[in-house]
Structure 1
Amino acid sequence: MNSEDLAMLCSALSIKEKERPAGTLDPNLKEKGERLLSLCLVGKVFTNKLVNKDAPINVLTSIWRANEGVEIKALEGNVFAFYFKNTEDRKNIQSGGSWTFDRAIIAFEEPYGTGDIAHMNFNKVEFWVQIHNLPLFYMTEDIGAFLGKMIGEVSDVDLLTAKNVGGRSVRVRVAISTDEPLMRSLRVDLIGTGTITTMLLRYERLQDYCFKCSRVGYSLRDCVEPRKQIQQKQWQD
């Protein structure tokens, strides 16, 4: 039932019905509900098309490595609820993304309060982002975090991967707003001399992306911005 249906039902309530005493949920039932919510993620498949409800459930159930399994329920639109059995499984799935279905990114929200999806924005997605062309002297965790904050909300910094392959890069895990264009590079005066260093960004597992407006969630052919000449560069995995 969507919000419009609920509004119609509420408006149809008689004065007499509204004056009846309201029920109070048993504390034990409330505790069970809070426990269920604490192990839940709510995700929205970022596509303009309405997805088949069973397809994401079957795909994600098969590829996710949850030790105690995960129960997936379809909600309204392209929104799904993911119920885990323990916090470790939920954390591993969150940190293992970004996740996609049929090339469309899935934006996750941690439910709070009563878990009303009408109050969820689904406007942030976490990516591992590689920052390239970084001088060796500045390949530290603190500087990686500083650079990552220029992109989004930083949750992790990985220096080991770059060191193992001998590259001049760091990886940062950041939550990025889907309402804003993705940044392609960072320009930073690293040593305060006025000399600008340009560092290229490479987003891992980035699939459904528009090269015209630099936003995620749809492809170039679905972009609503006026058409213009674009040089398409394959800078994502």
Structure 2
Amino acid sequence: MDPDEISRLVNDLKLYHNDPNDTINLEEEDIKIEEERLLRCLVAKVLSPKAINRDAFRQQMPRVLQSEKRIIIEATGDNTFVFEFLSLRDRARALSEGPWHFSRNLVIFKEPTGWNNPRSMIFDEIPIWVQLHNVPIALMHEDLLLKLGGKIGSVVEIDKGENGACLGRFARIRVRINTMQPLRKCIRINAMRDEEDLYILLVYERLPDFCYACGRLGHSHRECDDSMADKVNLNFGA
């Protein structure tokens, strides 16, 4: 049965099935067992406008994640899957590293919580390393890099190098970005002096396929339905 049809039927049951004698009261032990299982699980969403091959996904993702132990993967519909990890270290790595790809599409992992249905979860953020190029040495300090990273998303980590300093050919920040928004290409800095404004170029590491027309993740420019995007000049192209 189609998952959308199941959701509709469940909503109908909420409206018309009000017999209190038909309700099952869960015991504390029942809830504890499920909470322990949640600690081994993650929910994954493949950002693609097309339905992916579920069997290929189940076969390839353990290799993509380089898992130490077996992973049980079950589809829940709409390119959404539940992962049950036999190794908590594999689970932690899937959640903290990445971004992960399947057939050049972005795979986003989230922790399930409480009674949330995996199909109702929102997958709109990913952590990703971003290189900041053209940053002057005088500005290579943690306070300013936090401000720059805040223009991209929510800063998770700053790469300070082996000596604890933010020096090198470029600065490097791990940022949690919103997948629903266009990727930012640069950040302009006004030094409030006589010099011209400074432009910081952003380079996203291990970035999956995205739309060169609108700058968003999850589809290509050939599949873009944004009427305001320039599909000829491709402002987010090479």
TM-score (norm 2): 0.85
Find the counterpart in structure 1 of residue 198 from structure 2: 197
Find the counterpart in structure 2 of residue 146 from structure 1: 147
1:108 and 2:112 correspond? no
CA contact (8 A) 1:141 1:158 kept: no
Distance 1:16 1:133 in 2: 63
Find the counterpart in structure 1 of residue 49 from structure 2: 48
**Offset, 1:13:** 8.2
Percent sequence identity over matched residues? Answer: 31
**Offset, 1:12:** 5.9
CA spacing shift, 1:176–1:14, aligned 2, 3 Å: closer
* TM-superposition CA deviations, 1:98-143 (whole Å, max 9, x none): 0111011112222111131243111112211111111112223333
Decide which moves more: 170-179 or 77-86: 77-86
CA contact (8 A) 2:214 2:236 kept: no
Distance 2:204 2:218 in 1: 14
1:24 and 2:28 correspond? no
Aligned residues: CA RMSD:
2.8
The amino acid across from 1:193 in the alignment is R
Distance 1:103 1:199 in 2: 27
Within 5 A, what are the aligned runs for 1:103-142? 103-142=104-143
**Offset, 1:233:** 4.2
- Tell me how many residue pairs correspond in the alignment: 232
Decide which moves more: 94-103 or 79-88: 79-88
CA spacing shift, 1:33–1:185, aligned 2, 3 Å: same
CA contact (8 A) 2:211 2:236 kept: no
Find the counterpart in structure 2 of residue 64 from structure 1: 65
Distance 1:69 1:223 in 2: 37
CA contact (8 A) 1:210 1:216 kept: yes
Within 5 A, what are the aligned runs for 1:132-211? 132-160=133-161, 167-189=168-190, 191-193=191-193, 195=195, 196-211=197-212
CA contact (8 A) 1:136 1:168 kept: no
* TM-superposition CA deviations, 1:173-200 (whole Å, max 9, x none): 11111211100001123x5437522100
CA spacing shift, 1:220–1:68, aligned 2, 3 Å: same
* TM-superposition CA deviations, 1:163-220 (whole Å, max 9, x none): 99x843111111111211100001123x543752210000111131111111111111
CA contact (8 A) 1:135 1:168 kept: no
Distance 1:7 1:224 in 2: 27
Find the counterpart in structure 2 of residue 229 from structure 1: 233
**Offset, 1:145:** 2.3
TM-score (norm 1): 0.85
5+ residue gaps, structure 1, are: none
CA contact (8 A) 1:140 1:159 kept: no
CA spacing shift, 1:138–1:86, aligned 2, 3 Å: farther
Decide which moves more: 58-67 or 6-15: 6-15
CA spacing shift, 1:128–1:16, aligned 2, 3 Å: closer
Decide which moves more: 178-187 or 85-94: 85-94
CA contact (8 A) 1:128 1:171 kept: yes
